[in-house]
Structure 1
Amino acid sequence: MHTFRQVMLALAAATALAAPPAAASTAVAAGDVPARTLHAAPDGTGSACSEARPCSLTTARDTARETEGRDIRVELSGGTYALTEPLELGEADSGQDGHTVTWTAAPGAAPVLSGGRTVRGWRPGAGGTWTATVPDGVTPRQLFVNGVRATPARGDSCAASVCDATATGMTGAVSTGIAGWARPTDAEAVIKVRWRDYHCRIASVSGDLMTFAQPCWTNSSSGTGRTGPAWDTTTVDSSRYAKVAYFENAAELLDEPGEFVWDSDARTLTYLPRAGQDMRRARAVTPAVENLLVLDGAHDVRIEGVSLQYAAWQQPSTDEGYAGTQAGLTLTGTTGPVDHAGRYYTKPAAALTVRGGRRVVVDDVDFTRLGGAGAVLESGTQDSSVTRSTFTDLSSGALYVGDTDPQPAAALAGERNTVAHNTIRGTGVEFTDSVGIWAGYEAGLTVDHNTLDDLPYSGISVGWGWNQPEARESVLRDNKISNNRITDVMRVDAEQHDGGAIYTQGSQPGTVISGNYIDRSAYGNTERDGNGIYLDEQSSHITVTGNVITRVGYKWVSNWADYGIDNQATGNWTDTAAPALAGTGSTMTDNETGLDRLPAAALRTARQAGAEGHGEVEPLRPDLARTGTVTQSSTSGTAGAGRAVDGDTTTDSATLSEAGAWWQDDLGGSRHIGRIEVWNSAAMSTADFDVQLAGTADFTDAVTVHVTGKALRPTVLDVDTDARYVRIQRTGTGAVGLAQVLVHP
């Protein structure tokens, strides 16, 4: 077991290791050979790469190969470098004999490496739309107008009772109107099942039956032996499937400003502009080049101060589609080994890919407007880092570090990599099962002082393999997830479930999760499956210490599996009560739980977390409910009224199912009430109810707020009134079941 002092010493060492690097210096120590500086520009044509006559990127790369015995700096002038293929760097482009090759922005410049193609020749059409022909060889999955992402035209959801999915196809073509669409085979079905996201193109329509592109549909269905653990029931034909979230990319669905449609036969884009957009003058760009910068076997290379924009990801637009598995990885191919541990899943394409890198530094790079992920470090990349960079408006996740083989050859093992002081916001725009930072089987990984905000699913995910035999022995160990600021993740609108702000899998001896500030993970969800720190499956030998965790939809720390071993949670602060940790030898000690105010030490920790290190902390609000006298109309089993004010959102109060069932709290005197939070129970039993606030016990003076439909976790009501009594009452027949009721002044 780690002592608290040992943990904090390890944290201090990790923080020092992950400190942002100093800006590159051109100073030369006595006796050193000055660095050679090469100059590149978007319109560079020079052969000598001089400042007076800069060269192209590829000429600069080839010229650098001729230099020996000194550092090399390739300085990029400002402007857009329109790539038609990736810029590739390998062994020949690496720093030799202790030297470094640096690709960097010239002083004061803002270079952009772009994989986009400008769409020109827009002409007006019916209903305020505009249409343009797309250049040959480009399949426009995304469209950005004046830098703002457009949305593929999409319709409403279709319930499983109408759109019934099986392993061979789906009904509902008639009821949805798809049978009458002009080009249904350009449209996709988007389906979300628990933590998975699926995007498969319609292949044919016959009567009411739709079939879908292969192998996308087969890989999204059960029976392949390749879609995850045998107990997994999250395929499109499983009992967990509830609906098609929406169909998209059909002209018949184009009805909202900011939407577009791709017609693959006519090779046209049709767009309905947002207010103020004049397509005669607008700049419309679609991503076309899949990878912008690829380092394959490179070492001692720095990438600094550039922006990577408009990279494409081709796979989802092919018959492979997007058969999501978890965290933005997909199942591809028509055949493959039967494997339940996810060893053969496919990572998304990324603007920047590092394969087998050694001492590669990516610093102060801007990743934005991408059709896939930001950066991938894989195939045994070691001693490399991504620091001080920003990731915004990405279709998939920001960073993928490592691979899915639990026992790789030594040369393919990911070790001692660092992800620090980065800002990640608004990723997973298209593929909502992706995460902010994903790491597979890594050892000695440091994820420190990053800011992650506004993400559809989990924030940071480290580890892989669930509880499967293939994954029970792995190289996972000694990872540090520290001082990160993670807010507004597992967003309710994304409809992805069973994740957390920080998520782990696998046995990871020596791994420490510390000093992180987590606020609003799955807050307002409909299910009890959005966690703060989620030690999932066989997560073992992990220490969770000194974290601040507030406003989570379920547990602040979750370790549900009995085969999780020796996990320790100590010295954390949270506004919910402590759930028990499952697993052999797991303990919870010295945690401050059920708080309605954060103590000074917790506030310091929260403020210092994240890339900026001085972020705002959302204050907790005092809770009047916990000191009141609670009663209910009846009791189901042992679920007494007090369970709704015990600070624990994992235990429930419950009445019998009856007409006008109610739960009530007498605050002991008239108090000003500004806000009430109603947290539903595990069974989601509280629906169509009144929240009544009264000064008298007979409720003749009650102020009533009606809530239609099921209560969330939580339903938040701003009431701004004085009352002594708070009652939650069904308006019909049924039970009142509550995990928590908070009454804030």
Structure 2
Amino acid sequence: MAALMTQFHVSPSGDDSAPGTEEHPFATLPRAQRAARESVGAVLVHLRAGTHVLTEPWELTAEDSGRDGARVIYQAYGYGTDAAEQVVISGGTEITGWREHEGRWVAEVGALDTRQLSVDGQRAERAGIDGLPDGTTRTETGYRTTSLAPQQWQAPASVEFVYRGIYPWTEARCGVAAVTHTGEHTEITMAQPAFDQAKALYNYEFEYQRLTGPALPTRVENDPSFLTTPGTFALTRSHPDHHVLHYLPRSGEHPSHTRVVAPALETLLRVTAARDISFRGLIFADATWLRPNRSQGFLHYHGSGYYEGGDIYTEVLIEGRQWLTVPTETATIPACLTLEHTAGITFEGCRFTRLGGTALGATAGVGLTVRGCDFDTLAASAITLTGDRDAVLEDNLIQHIGLDYAGSPGISLLGTAGCTVAHNQVTDVPHCGIVAGPGTGTVLSNNHTDRTMGVLADGGGLYIAGPQGDSFDNGALVRGNVIDNTRTPYNFGLYTDYGAAWVQVQDNVVGQADNSAVLHVGPPLDHVVFRGNYWNSDPVGSDAVPAGVTYENNTTLTDTDELEAASSAIRARAGLLRTQEPAIG
């Protein structure tokens, strides 16, 4: 006889003093969580339609684990049926009290700090301009210009400079401290320690082109004077605890009927040392990440990594011709949903949207499953795994990510063991689609990446770097993937880089890439096999295959129609399972 499942209901219109039944639901997730803790056996918590607003992170610990082999499940009411309800778990604050001024909306928001905004569920962009006026030069403390334009900035200490492509794969952000008028010049003083750290971090020589610290910014953001495009906003923080939000509305928007939400929380969900918990059919939305607002800025280096201070060393690529400075250690952009030391956690059919950091991050866990989920409108990555074992990321749609931190890959694995990334669709990302750093037993299979490398350079649709094991038995298997439209000039559709070792690259397809793959990298590839792949161009170095590479039975077809026809069987099996026709017989 099957064990009974205890069920509870929670609704935004409920009452925490109620019994949590379908007729009399709880009002909050923490109340439902306490009821689940007090139950025996399997527990199913139904979340009813509407927005469940969090005023602090939802915390799950070992006490919230499934017990005796049973699971605790949090799911949208009706999940898996046509009657499934739409449930949003939000860390946002609705902005009210607008006043209209010269065509803009202005609201006093107290101590609220945020870097994102949504208007009727649509992302609003931070107001900005392209670069600084002509004739601007860098100084020890910032920049000097003869232009008076920066003196018109209404809140200089809220302004942020963006440095896109400071290294080809890097986009940094530093705040302004002050703007002053000195004689015939305008002096822009940058916030510290970010600016001095940026000068120490970003230095290189590439083929006799030198960079010594940050040059001019490519974009300047977050001042009310930049509000010229409808659907943009600025948040001024000139007075502590008296911040002001400015918004230039789109046609048809009005404070009486337009819902504006500012992400207030940095973390929506934190699961620590818990096991056997499932989340089904939920929408996680409206969180931010505030560190770049601070005086340390955001000194991005590569992927999801950024510099927090510490030692910097010089990496010599070609003696006397190519070198660059590199941080000894980097931190990782945090996730709005974090898992630490967990086991058997499952996300199924969920959506992650309007999040100001990485959506989902897991560290040192085992048995994570993320299946059939959608990730979109994210400031950073969709999924980042660090030190996880035996995770399965399958049938997920990832698109429009890295919107604020352009180096962010769709999926990133670092130091993982036995993880499988299969049948995912990664589309419209500014840098790499899927990244596997050093690890063991990684399987990347039947994924489809399209329109990757849209902003920064030196990456690929699939990017594999460093040792992947110590034999082919526990190395990486990269098989059956389709990589289309890697777009910036300096990239490789399928990129094995930086001493990748023990990697089998089999039966993949690279189409419409400037460079399909590369065999010569530094440090060199070792025990890397390319077999049975289809390319739109010969990999760089395939005319002189290096000693650590096996290159055999690959096919190059420069005609797009011929390439697609020859690789049609691989293409048919790649990408989302939920959109594929079922097999016959």
TM bracket, shorter-chain basis: 0.7 to 0.9
Alpha-carbon distance, 1:247 to partner: 0.5
Distance 1:433 1:183 in 2: 28
1:567 aligns with 2:528: yes
Distance 2:514 2:132 in 1: 26
**Secondary structure at the counterpart of residue 519 of structure 1:** strand
Counterpart of 2:289?
Answer: 313
Alpha-carbon distance, 1:558 to partner: 5.0
AA at the equivalent of 2:105: W
Q: 1:519 aligns with which of 481, 484, 489?
A: 484
Does the CA contact (< 8 Å) of 1:533 and 1:558 recur in 2?
A: no
Counterpart of 1:540?
Answer: 501
Percentage of matched positions with identical amino acids: 29
Write out aligned runs for 1:182-201 (5 A). 182-192=154-164, 193=166, 194-201=168-175
Counterpart of 1:11?
Answer: none
**Secondary structure at the counterpart of residue 570 of structure 2:** helix
Q: Give unpaired runs (5+ residues) of structure 1.
A: 1-29, 403-412, 465-475, 617-745
CA deviation map 1:145-168 (0-9, x unaligned): 111111211112348x844446x4
Alpha-carbon distance, 1:452 to partner: 0.6
Does the CA contact (< 8 Å) of 2:519 and 2:546 recur in 1?
A: no
Counterpart of 1:82?
Answer: 53
Distance 2:436 2:287 in 1: 26
Counterpart of 1:92?
Answer: 63
Counterpart of 2:576?
Answer: 611
Alpha-carbon distance, 1:273 to partner: 1.3
Structure 1 residues 555 and 584: CA distance shift in structure 2, 3 A: same
Distance 1:232 1:83 in 2: 48
Alpha-carbon distance, 1:486 to partner: 0.4
Does the CA contact (< 8 Å) of 1:163 and 1:170 recur in 2?
A: no
Alpha-carbon distance, 1:231 to partner: 7.0
Distance 2:220 2:122 in 1: 22
The count of corresponding residues between Structure 1 and Structure 2 is 543
Structure 1 residues 63 and 453: CA distance shift in structure 2, 3 A: same
CA deviation map 1:11-31 (0-9, x unaligned): xxxxxxxxxxxxxxxxxxx2x
CA deviation map 1:695-730 (0-9, x unaligned): xxxxxxxxxxxxxxxxxxxxxxxxxxxxxxxxxxxx
Alpha-carbon distance, 1:339 to partner: 7.6
**Which protein shows a greater Rg?**
1
Write out aligned runs for 1:168-567 (5 A). 168-175=140-147, 177-192=149-164, 193=166, 194-206=168-180, 207=182, 208-222=186-200, 238-239=211-212, 243-265=216-238, 267-332=243-308, 335-336=309-310, 344-378=329-363, 380-402=364-386, 413-463=387-437, 476-491=439-454, 494=455, 496-509=456-469, 510-522=475-487, 525=488, 527=489, 529-557=490-518, 559-567=520-528
Distance 1:240 1:293 in 2: 38
**Secondary structure at the counterpart of residue 505 of structure 1:** strand
AA at the equivalent of 2:458: D
**Secondary structure at the counterpart of residue 175 of structure 1:** coil
Distance 1:367 1:272 in 2: 26
Alpha-carbon distance, 1:220 to partner: 2.7
Distance 1:154 1:599 in 2: 41
Structure 1 residues 195 and 398: CA distance shift in structure 2, 3 A: same
Counterpart of 1:106?
Answer: 77
Alpha-carbon distance, 1:122 to partner: 1.8
Does the CA contact (< 8 Å) of 1:312 and 1:371 recur in 2?
A: yes
Structure 1 residues 103 and 218: CA distance shift in structure 2, 3 A: farther
AA at the equivalent of 1:123: R
The alignment's C-alpha RMSD in Å is 2.5
Does the CA contact (< 8 Å) of 1:119 and 1:133 recur in 2?
A: no
**Secondary structure at the counterpart of residue 331 of structure 2:** coil
Distance 2:101 2:344 in 1: 54
AA at the equivalent of 2:505: V
Structure 1 residues 203 and 400: CA distance shift in structure 2, 3 A: same
Write out aligned runs for 1:664-679 (5 A). none
Counterpart of 1:44?
Answer: 14
Write out aligned runs for 1:143-182 (5 A). 143-158=117-132, 162-165=135-138, 168-175=140-147, 177-182=149-154
CA deviation map 1:510-555 (0-9, x unaligned): 2011111111001xx3x4x111011111111111111111111234
**Secondary structure at the counterpart of residue 366 of structure 2:** coil
Structure 1 residues 503 and 388: CA distance shift in structure 2, 3 A: same
Structure 1 residues 84 and 480: CA distance shift in structure 2, 3 A: same
Which TM-score applies when normalising by structure 1?
0.69
Distance 1:174 1:370 in 2: 39
Alpha-carbon distance, 1:118 to partner: 0.7
Structure 1 residues 599 and 430: CA distance shift in structure 2, 3 A: closer
Structure 1 residues 569 and 175: CA distance shift in structure 2, 3 A: farther
Does the CA contact (< 8 Å) of 2:335 and 2:361 recur in 1?
A: yes
Distance 2:467 2:234 in 1: 46
**Secondary structure at the counterpart of residue 415 of structure 1:** coil
Counterpart of 1:680?
Answer: none
Counterpart of 1:131?
Answer: 106
Does the CA contact (< 8 Å) of 1:608 and 1:614 recur in 2?
A: no
1:64 aligns with 2:36: yes
Distance 2:399 2:549 in 1: 34
Structure with higher RCO (Cα < 8 A, 6+ apart): 2
Distance 1:533 1:598 in 2: 16
Distance 1:245 1:356 in 2: 40
**Secondary structure at the counterpart of residue 58 of structure 1:** helix
Q: 2:92 aligns with which of 106, 116, 120?
A: 116
Alpha-carbon distance, 1:240 to partner: 8.7
**Secondary structure at the counterpart of residue 345 of structure 2:** strand
AA at the equivalent of 1:354: L
Q: Give unpaired runs (5+ residues) of structure 2.
A: 79-83, 315-325, 470-474
**Secondary structure at the counterpart of residue 499 of structure 2:** coil
AA at the equivalent of 1:33: A
1:33 aligns with 2:3: yes
**Secondary structure at the counterpart of residue 332 of structure 2:** coil
Counterpart of 2:319?
Answer: none
AA at the equivalent of 1:183: A
Does the CA contact (< 8 Å) of 2:310 and 2:328 recur in 1?
A: no
Counterpart of 1:590?
Answer: 553
Alpha-carbon distance, 1:559 to partner: 4.4
AA at the equivalent of 1:131: V
**Secondary structure at the counterpart of residue 74 of structure 1:** strand
Distance 1:316 1:85 in 2: 21
Write out aligned runs for 1:555-704 (5 A). 555-557=516-518, 559-580=520-541, 583-596=546-559, 597-598=562-563, 600=565, 602-612=567-577
**Secondary structure at the counterpart of residue 218 of structure 1:** helix
Structure 1 residues 583 and 298: CA distance shift in structure 2, 3 A: farther
AA at the equivalent of 1:177: A
Distance 2:343 2:579 in 1: 32
Alpha-carbon distance, 1:211 to partner: 2.9
